[in-house]
Amino acid sequence: MAVYTEVSFSQARDLLQSLALGDLHTLEGSTGGIENTNYFASCERGGVVSHFVLTLFERLSFEQLPGYLNLMRHLAQRGLPVPQPMPNASGQILHAVQGKPAAVVNRLVGRSQLAPGGAHCAALGATLAQLHKVGRDFDEHLPNLRGLDWWNTTMPVILPFLDHAQRELIQSELAYQNHIAASSAYAALPRGPIHADLFRDNALFEGEKLTGVFDFYFAGVDSWLFDLAVCLNDWAMEPQTGAPDAARFAALLQAYAQTRPLTSAERRLLPAMLRAAALRFWISRLWDFHLPRDARLLQAHDPGQFERVLRERAAHPVTLDAPE
């Protein structure tokens, strides 16, 4: 949620009024995230103040975006705590600001829990499983643009920035993941729409109650196990060492499995998908760190965090029983 494109107060006001959201009171650029331009807006209508997020998409195109917004609407309409895209009088939820695709969604209540406990992890696990189950009847194909194909094309671009040991690790791990992806066990993994980026800063809580999941702009159809692995690697991991926190790991995994039990193929491949999730975010953070775009309020993430996670996951795999 950096600011790449400056939006004036009058531009935001005109868009929000066209969506019948009221009179714009405040507009503030967001400091979180790295992909899109985001502003927090408050509007007054009939004496009631409501809060929204205005997003300008810096990489996704007008042709790509309807799938992401339709998935959010699909999930929100089925009761999940997901932002609802705001339509204009014609029912369109994709808009334009300064020639760029834009969307306005309601701002969810709560705050991100950056030091989660077991109860937070359990709430996240249950919600993730519900998201996967509810998404099964979403009938649009939404490709995972940061999946294995992207890893293969991006890795050569970032290799010059790595030392010898890092190059050996990233190349060997990518070869391993290509091998896993070609296996029959991988083909058997259940699939559907996934969030693909559900880190601690993309969820909101009031106390221990999960009140929101947002930032679906890396979503795509992929294995549900990969989505679960992304969450386990962040919510149940110690950033300084990359080692899993056993209590948080168990809380998240058990809550997920109570809502959607894992198949035997998923249980067998969880160690590989934990490595895959670590590799994906190591590659993307290296790319963002070494090849940054100009943006006001941009805060790049530390690539070293997921290098540590990958080394830890490879050296000490988490295994689950996989009954037939």
Residue 161 burial (CB count, 10 A): 14
At residue 73, the pLDDT reads 97
Contact 12, 24 (CB under 8 A): yes
At residue 240, the pLDDT reads 84
Q: Which residues of the chain have pLDDT under 70?
A: 1-2, 32-34, 293-300, 321-324
At residue 30, the pLDDT reads 85
At residue 322, the pLDDT reads 46
pTM flag (> 0.95): no
pLDDT in tens, 80-137: 999 999 999 999 999 999 999 999 999 999 999 999 999 999 999 999 999 999 999 9
At residue 294, the pLDDT reads 60
Contact 216, 244 (CB under 8 A): no
Q: Which long-range contacts (CB under 8 A, 24 or more apart) does 316-321 make?
A: 316/243, 317/271, 317/274, 317/275, 318/244, 318/249, 318/270, 318/271, 318/274, 319/270, 319/271, 320/262, 320/267, 320/268, 320/270, 321/267
Radius of gyration in angstroms for the set of CA atoms belonging to the chain, rounded to a whole number: 20
Neighbour order of strands in the sheet with 37-45: 23-29, 37-45, 48-56, 100-106, 95-97
At residue 33, the pLDDT reads 56
At residue 300, the pLDDT reads 67
Reduced to 3 states (helix: H, G, I; strand: E, B; else coil), residue 85 is strand
Which of 311, 197, 309, 302 is closest to 244 using CA atoms? 309
At residue 323, the pLDDT reads 41
Residue 229 burial by Cβ neighbours in a 10 Å radius (0-12, 13-18, 19+): buried
DSSP secondary structure of 195-220: -S---GGGEEEETTEEEEE---TT-E
Contact 194, 222 (CB under 8 A): yes
Distance of CA 175 to the CA centre of its chain: 24
Reduced to 3 states (helix: H, G, I; strand: E, B; else coil), residue 56 is strand
CATH class of the 118-315 domain in this structure = alpha beta
At residue 324, the pLDDT reads 37
Ramachandran quadrant class, 79 (left: phi over 0; alpha: psi -120 to 50; beta: rest): left
At residue 4, the pLDDT reads 87
Contact 103, 217 (CB under 8 A): no
Which of 81, 73, 97 is closest to 3 using CA atoms? 97
Domain locations in the chain?
Answer: 9-106, 118-315
Domain 9-106: CATH superfamily, name plus number: Phosphorylase Kinase; domain 1 (3.30.200.20)
At residue 9, the pLDDT reads 97
Query: For 189, which DSSP code?
Result: S
Cα–Cα dist 197/35, whole Å: 12
